[in-house]
Structure 1
């Protein structure tokens, strides 16, 4: 999948969405449907909630596909300073919390911060990352 990044702003905060990282957990739109609605285009409408509500919801994103920055501050990647934690999601991806460097088969390195979702079902089109295919194929573990 292409390395696409989309940005949506309400003037105070900018929501950054990386669809290639998304695991389609639905947490974003289940918690703040007035902002995150995949049935509409654009699917993110940051003007529909307060900046604090948006920040709280984006922080719940398990894959790191959603992030944010405050418009009056310099845009910098948000890094987690916690210990690394690995969590196997039932019938879903392997979530790794913390700062990582992921090396692909060609030796290219990518920095990942916060949460990274790795494929466990083997069917992702975006390996080694989860793309939500586990749901479509009925993966269970």
Structure 2
């Protein structure tokens, strides 16, 4: 978690600094970088309109500079707001684009957003996975 004794940093750069300390400490204990999982902490945009951007920028910085796996409780961003699924889907797509690869989500509610993000990012050649999932959802109805 990108937090320290002072709490959750309010800038992407400070969250990156915390992540660097975590990675350095983990590697010092012999944990390979590919086994390290960093959470840049999603906070609700209902309380701070910049919270989503801070988290997204922190994810980008940590992924670019440290190259570690990224996790996130993505639905935290919409806490206390109506139509949470819409906010969560948009936020999740942006987080995936910036490097999130291990999201903590209700898979049944957001799988189609993840599939759409992968498609838009060129990670699903000829939309094969997206179309397969779409057909499966339609068949289930």
Structure 1 and Structure 2 fold alike (TM over 0.5): no
Identify the structure with bigger relative contact order (alpha carbons < 8 Å, sequence gap 6+). 1
The structure with the larger Rg is 2
Higher helix share: 2
Q: Identify, as 1 or 2, the structure richer in strand.
A: 1
What is the TM-score normalised by the length of structure 2?
0.25
